[in-house]
Amino acid sequence: MSAFAENSETRSFTTCDGSLAYRDVGEGRPLVLLHAGFFDHSMWDEQIRAFAPHYRVIAPDARGHGASSNATRPFRPADDLAALLRHLDVGPAVLVGVSMGGGTAVDTALEHPELVRAVVVCGVGTSEPYFENPWSLMAERLVRAVHDGRAVSVENTAHFPNMEAPTEFNALLARFLETLPN
């Protein structure tokens, strides 16, 4: 394990409805890693090690996951993320999300655009209650909707390319991050 991962402890941020846990490691431009449902921030361990030497990597546990509190009333994951980013005085940030985390990234970009520099999503639709289009059509919609949008695939992976092929995923993400304007 790298020194970055070894020295990064899980922290918490107190909200009006319990606490939200997160890891915050490295320095530089903020890179926020948003996990899938039924997971926690540890699904991003490979990416935290890879990117913390060059970026400030923030990996929260969504409400009801990992070390974060369960909700006692209705909540919106995008609002939780926005509150965390404001608490950390971070933004705009690159949001990277898989599945549920990708939905949070998209919703945050739409509802709190001042906090978002770019969005990278994998295996995500929208927060709409019904999905009528396959993933590939959703990706095409996102590419058309976002300025300088693009889509790439990690070959021979399914829903979790960051865990199934971390070396390839990290290389693609690194190339993308290098293309962002300063």
Beta bridge partners of 20: 13
Q: Tens digit of pLDDT for each residue in 21-62?
A: 999 999 999 999 999 999 999 999 999 999 999 999 999 999
For residue 31, which of 175, 129, 173 has the smallest C-alpha distance? 173
* 93 belongs to a structural domain: yes
Q: How would you write 54-95 as a 3-class SS string?
A: CCEEEEECCCCCCCCCCCCCCCCHHHHHHHHHHHCCCCCEEE
CB atoms within 10 A of CB 48: 23
- The domain in which residue 125 lies consists of 3-169
The token pair that represents 63 in the structure block:
């409400």
- pTM here is 0.89
The token pair that represents 174 in the structure block:
């690194």
Q: Tens digit of pLDDT for each residue in 146-169?
A: 677 788 888 888 889 999 999 999
CATH (domain of 32):
3.40.50.1820
* 138 belongs to a structural domain: yes
Give the Cα separation of 2 and 169 in Å (integer). 19
User: What pLDDT, on a 0 to 100 scale, did the predictor assign at position 140?
Assistant: 74
- Give the mean pLDDT of 53-82: 96
Proportion of the chain above pLDDT 90, given as a percent = 68
Q: Mean pLDDT of all residues in the chain?
A: 88
- Count the domains in the chain: 1
* 64 belongs to a structural domain: yes
User: What pLDDT, on a 0 to 100 scale, did the predictor assign at position 2?
Assistant: 43
* 175 belongs to a structural domain: no
Place of tokens 């939780």: 80
* 94 belongs to a structural domain: yes
User: What pLDDT, on a 0 to 100 scale, did the predictor assign at position 52?
Assistant: 98
* 177 belongs to a structural domain: no
Give the Cα separation of 129 and 148 in Å (integer). 28
What is the pLDDT confidence band of residue 129, given thresholds at 50, 70 and 90?
A: low
* 95 belongs to a structural domain: yes
CB atoms within 10 A of CB 4: 16
Q: Tens digit of pLDDT for each residue in 86-116?
A: 999 998 999 999 999 999 998 999 899 999 9
Pairing of strands 93-98, 116-122: parallel
User: What pLDDT, on a 0 to 100 scale, did the predictor assign at position 125?
Assistant: 63
Pairing of strands 10-15, 18-25: antiparallel
Residue 23 or residue 134, greater confidence = 23
CA-only gyration radius of the chain, Å: 15
* 16 belongs to a structural domain: yes
For residue 110, which of 151, 70, 76 has the smallest C-alpha distance? 76
